[in-house]
Structure 1
Amino acid sequence: MRVTEKGQVTIPKHIRDRLKIGPGSEVDFVATGDGVRLVKGNADSGEIKDFDAWAASVEGRVDLGGMSTDKFMEWIRGVRDDLHDR
């Protein structure tokens, strides 16, 4: 597959058919460690296909509602009966 002077590529028909990609479909190219992946998308879905992008989008958004770290850990893990005085 060749890239045109405008930076365009043609997605092979068997791939378009398999992913149900047609005129007006949204697609994205996602960089991977050894190349790139074509991902079918939906511009209106708000779906994030890249974990790093998702992690960056939620960074710093935890609201504990004033809960202390100890209370939060207890809430996450559950009460540990074996740690309380006997």
Structure 2
Amino acid sequence: MRVTEKGQVTIPKAIRDHLGIKPGMEVDFVQDGSGARVVRVASNRSDRRAKAIEAWADRVTGTLDLDGMDGKEYVDWLRGPRDDLDPR
């Protein structure tokens, strides 16, 4: 394998498949007596939670009809009148 100027290497497909490494996963290089090993970083609970939230956001994208309102108009509508901030 060749190291790029940015310090990147390509992990061969056979090794990625064997370790179960998918795009977006993290790996680490661990030094041992004869060199270094590549290891998959175990995902933690917050990673799984973030992925679940991202999947939910992808599923609901475009399902809210704002009736032509932009983001600020929608938030103002959602909050309702704010007499204490903007008396009319």
TM-score by length of 1: 0.48
The structure with the largest helix share of the pair is: 2
